[in-house]
Amino acid sequence: MTENIYIGEDSLQQLTELLQNPAFSKVAVLVDEHTLLHCYPLLKPYLPQHDLIQIQSGEEHKTLQTCELIWQRMTELNLDRWSVLVNLGGGVIGDMGGFCAAVFKRGLYFVQVPTTLLAQVDASVGGKTGIDFHGLKNHIGVYSEPRAVLINPAFLRTLPQRQIKSGYAEIIKHWLIADGDTFEEQRQVGLFHENWEELIRHSVAIKSEVVAADPLEAGYRKVLNFGHTVGHAVESYLLEKPGRELLHGEAIAVGMLCEAYLSVKKELLSQAALEKIETFLVSVYEKVKLTEDDLGFITQLALQDKKNTRSTINCTLLQGIGKAVYDQPVTLQEIHESLRYYQLL
């Protein structure tokens, strides 16, 4: 799983080597206004002759309408099945660019160059691509592996602190589901890190090992969804509330607190462990204000979670810090109760 993932300040050199393959007919680079300004200058020296495809940034643009714009531009550029699309950006660019490449003319090659911490440790690894649909997170998508993933920590210097914190949530999730010792160590350190490359490597290794064991999420890979049943519902709901939108990791931090609470209620996790998780996450992430009306609407959105079977909400919970268990049935009432717990923190 990790043989096509390159991590480090010299990772972009792999792009030059990869694109020297004479079989590749054309190269296009997908950017948004931010990555065009801040990240494209770092990437450009490693590219052969290429074209740019620019879209608007933001989760609200991760839609079929934006895909149509991308496909139209790909058509105008006469891209064929031997073309390569380089996705330069965060999770939105990676998810949507991968999806557009995977289905255009039944699939062309793509390369992920993640520029946010969230994308570097999560979205770019594992072959999931997709878009949102009618406000539902990642509702349409396919599994499609990139030709390569090039992770350069230098891109993190272009990010505001809020984006760093968003990505850090997925790193914390990986510790909670698979490495309790590192969680214990790092919760004493907090968010202040000078060596992001080391944390990225560790996090990517955890995710890659899980994905390799279950590429199509038939079972074990679902452990990666810890925090996401409630987190995606919160994210989807607030995405429709102008001025209240959350970054993905911010919503997952809410979800992890709620689902750790549910783990205690299901007698899988100790109260002491919950308090450790709660203390750490509250120290990093600001409280999201939720009204009584919000709780009801968010709870109903949990019915749309992709892990559900029929009318059963399947959640990934913690069986102690460092071990996750999947397909744990929870009720709407329990989801609502977990949100109430968060509201009263």
Map residue 87 onto helix, strand or coil.
Answer: strand
Catalytic residue, candidates 221, 235, 259, 337: 221
Flag the least confident range among 73-82, 163-172, 221-230, 297-306.
Answer: 297-306
Average pLDDT in the chain: 95
Query: What is the model's pLDDT at position 304?
Result: 86
Q: Is the pLDDT of residue 192 over 80?
A: no
Catalytic residue among 137, 147, 248, 337, which?
248
> Per 3-state DSSP, what percentage of the chain is helix, strand, and coil (rounded to 5)?
55, 15, 30
Q: Of 217, 259, 334, 337, which residue is the catalytic one?
A: 217
Cα 222 to Cα 169: distance, rounded to the nearest angstrom: 17
Q: What is the CATH number of domain 161-343?
A: 1.20.1090.10
Query: Pairing between strand 324-330 and 313-318?
Result: antiparallel
For residues 164-185, give the mean pLDDT. 96
Cβ contact 99:133 at 8 Å = no
* 250 included as an active-site residue: no
The residue-averaged pLDDT of 301-315 equals: 85
Tens-digit pLDDT profile for residues 250-300: 999 999 999 999 999 999 999 999 999 999 999 999 999 999 999 999 999
Out of 73, 138, 225, 337, pick the active-site residue.
225
Largest CA distance in the chain: 60
Fold: same for 5-158 and 161-343: no
**Of 228, 235, 250, 259, which is the active-site residue?**
228
Beta carbons within 10 angstroms of residue 48's beta carbon: 12
Asked if 206 contacts 178 with a C-beta cutoff of 8 angstroms, the reply is yes
Among residues 111, 158, 128, the alpha carbon closest in space to that of 11 is found at 111
Whether the per-residue pLDDT at 2 is higher than 70: the answer is no
pLDDT for position 123: 85
Stretch 108-113: mean pLDDT, rounded? Answer: 97
- What kind and span of H or E run contains 45? none
The fold of 5-158 is Rossmann fold (3.40.50)
**Which helix H or strand E contains 207, and what residues bound it?**
helix 196-213
Active site residue 33: no
The yes-or-no answer on residue 228 being catalytic is yes
340 annotated active-site = no
Closest CA to 86 of 72, 77, 98: 98
| 36-77 confidence digits (pLDDT tens) | 999 999 999 999 999 999 999 999 999 999 999 999 999 999
Query: In the annotation, is 314 catalytic?
Result: no
**Residue 1: pLDDT over 70:** no
pLDDT band at 305 (very low <50, low <70, confident <90, very high): confident
217 is catalytic: yes
Find the Cα–Cα–Cα–Cα dihedral 126, 238, 169, 267, rounded to 10°.
Answer: -90
Q: What pLDDT shows up at residue 306?
A: 75
Please say if 232 is a catalytic residue.
yes
157 part of the active site: no
Show me where the domains of the chain are located: 5-158, 161-343
- Which residues are within 8 A (CB) of 147 and not within 5 positions of it... i.e. 6 or more apart? 4, 18, 84, 109, 110, 111
